[in-house]
Amino acid sequence: MALAFAGMAGAVQAQTTEPSGQAAASPVQSLSPVVVTASGYDQTIADAPASITVLTHEDLARQPFNTLQDALRNVEGVSIVGANANKQDISIRGMPGKYTLILVDGKRQGTREMLNREELGMVQASQIPPLAAIERIEVVRGPMSSLYGSDAIGGVVNIITRKVPQTWTGSINLGATLQQHSELGNSRQADFYLAGPIKEDKLGLQLFGKSNQRTQADVVDGSYGIRDRGLTARLTLTPTKDQDILLEAGQDEYNRYGTVGKSLAATETGDYRLKNRHTHYSISHEGRWNFGTTNVSLQREEGKASNTIGDKEATSYPDTRLVNTTLDATLTLPLPNNMLKVGGQYIDTRLYGTDKEAASTTARNTVSGLSTRSWALFGEDEWAVTDHLSLTGGVRLDDHERYGQHWSPRGYAVYHLTQAWTLKGGVSRAFRAPELRQSSADYIQATGGAVGAPRGSIAGNPDLKPETSTSTEIGLHYQDDDRYAAGLTLFNNEFKNKIYSQCVSGCSGTSGATYEWGNIGRATLRGVETSLTLPLSRTVTLTGNYTYTQSKRKSDDEVAYDGTSLQGQPLDRTPRHVLNVRADWRATDALSLYASANVQSEQYWANYRNVSTTTRRRPGATTFDLGGSYELNSHVTFRLAVMNLTDKRVPVDYRTRTTGLDGNWQVDEGRRLWLNTSVSF
């Protein structure tokens, strides 16, 4: 597929004029930002066949930003959840973080399976471009497997980076976060961006990097100590004005450590160290031809992890290496009243070092590596039925060497009621492929076990099916030229074939049980997302969003540690109610101030391995932030914020399973001061 597109591109001379048969223009194109994630080509948010939120560079710069969790925590439909401060992940519409697909400029970031523990979600969300290199982040809420394949059940996060400018420019950001409670650990950040033409209109260079550090918390289950450094280089070659060739290479090294008696409990067997290196290379070509646009890219990403406990290699998650090679090719064809996009994808995934991973208390795995290959074809068409109504239909076929073929269709309608009002809705199916370890008959994973007691084992299952979902949504949106905007979206998601490890023997003891992966879970997730932008005056703007999420397990196959069925319990630790409100005041041309409130209702952790005998509950909380920025001149900006102004922290339940543990699992950050300086040149 990729070679065919490349050959087609080379056989046709590029043209500068727009195709005469392109789809009808939307009557509201001037009113909303341009996005690419919903369809794979430029559209306004009003036209996009999806529920989508855009965070601009300016939005991100107004608050502390080190990870994707920092960027997305106030987006409607999004929750940041995890078993503790070191396992935070991105949940969209109540789906756990592993069902959120992360892209950078449309390229998959897929090294999450490198380790067999959930903390990789937080590591992956840290290994992203620095703020200085980011133009915007697009967040699609809801399934997108018809375009992107596996993992996009909950949604898609696409980080769009800056393009090479016409003249040399650069920027430097320096920041720090100082905790009122010093035992929670202070942090500091630095990043830079430098870009410009080497040869005008022919060759451009981009360099960007970061260095982030955090002091380890002196609180059990508090933040590990962190050092995160990254550097990326890009060359953009423009052989003709209608062709771009992009070469990219980068590396990010994320190290973190926990010390017994500080962030680790005194009962742990030794200090913890993780070294995680993510390296990526890619080459891509875009051609803008008289018949349409072609995009071809080849990417190789490698994740390498080294773990130690005390002075020994960690057998649960030792040295491992994951290599993904991905070939993508797409063709976008403007046709009379239609926009057609077709494409293909090939992914080769190889995991090394599994023979070092523990299969039980005393034994390791016999299989030294795991691998899989898959290919996919997809097509999607947007039909402009009238100037106000467009219908989008698409389907993707994935062929996986382990589970066979899987179809992912979707249909979506966008109707512009007036210049400002838009009605949207659609139905889509999505899936997530079983993980390499889960679906391998020869792989066994050690798990749990009291300190000093025999560990349990989870056996792989080659008969696993992909997890699937069928999602419907309908939304009404308003946006006008006076900056007023509002939105209301209803969604429902039927989730099936959830992969879950079920105890098959030794289940009554405290250690040494045997489990097997199986498709045993079903759940329904539904809710409401609302948003509002209200200019109160020329200088004051009020923004806010509210999300209601209800998720319920429908299967009684999943149980708590005490054997109680988890039927009716939430799928993840997502709060049912979330409210974010913010007021911005442009006091002068140089000075801007803001105040915000963030409200979350109680959360429930219903899981066999939540360290309790039953479901755990975290009470709700309300926090307030106050901050602002001052533009010293056109090149220098100072920013300051007091986060969690009232120092609200939910007490952690440090009891054990045998002493009645059933409460909060999350160490909250208290009142803290954020300082930042940005210099551009």
Q: Confidence class of residue 268 from pLDDT cuts 50, 70 and 90?
A: confident
Give the pLDDT mean for 351-359: 83
Pairwise CA distance, residues 164 & 260, whole Å: 47
Tokens of 127: 């290994």
Residue 637: name the closest of 580, 676, 596, 594 by CA. 676
pLDDT at 179: 98
In tens, the pLDDT along 426-442 reads: 999 999 999 999 999 88
Give the pLDDT mean for 550-572: 87
Pairwise CA distance, residues 398 & 150, whole Å: 9
Tokens of 118: 């959930």
The yes-or-no verdict on residue 18 having pLDDT over 50 is no
Tell the burial category of 516 from Cβ atoms under 10 Å away from its Cβ (0-12, 13-18, 19+): middle
Tell the burial category of 330 from Cβ atoms under 10 Å away from its Cβ (0-12, 13-18, 19+): buried
Task: Specify which residues 413 forms β-bridges with.
Answer: 391, 425
- Residue 182's contacts (CB-CB under 8 Å, 6 or more residues apart) are none
The answer to whether 280 and 322 are in contact (CB under 8 A) is no
The helix/strand/coil state of 368 is: coil
Domains (range + CATH), the chain: 2-680 (2.40.170.20)
pLDDT at 312: 64
Weakest mean pLDDT among 218-232, 500-514, 521-535? 500-514
The yes-or-no verdict on residue 318 having pLDDT over 70 is no
Q: Confidence class of residue 2 from pLDDT cuts 50, 70 and 90?
A: very low
Q: Confidence class of residue 317 from pLDDT cuts 50, 70 and 90?
A: low
pLDDT at 601: 96
Weakest mean pLDDT among 101-105, 182-186, 449-453, 647-651? 449-453
The answer to whether 643 and 625 are in contact (CB under 8 A) is yes
pLDDT at 313: 62
The answer to whether 525 and 464 are in contact (CB under 8 A) is no
Strands 456-459 and 444-447: antiparallel
- Residue 269's contacts (CB-CB under 8 Å, 6 or more residues apart) are 309, 310, 451
pLDDT at 138: 97
In tens, the pLDDT along 46-99 reads: 999 999 999 999 999 998 888 999 999 999 999 999 888 898 999 999 998 899
pLDDT at 353: 87
pLDDT at 510: 62
Give the pLDDT mean for 430-457: 80
In tens, the pLDDT along 463-498 reads: 999 999 999 999 999 999 888 999 999 999 999 999
Residue 599: name the closest of 619, 578, 582 by CA. 578
Weakest mean pLDDT among 269-273, 397-401, 524-528, 676-680? 269-273
pLDDT at 115: 78
The answer to whether 153 and 430 are in contact (CB under 8 A) is yes
In tens, the pLDDT along 51-66 reads: 999 999 999 999 888 8
Tokens of 638: 């100072």
- What φ, ψ does residue 13 adopt, rounded to 5°? -70, 135
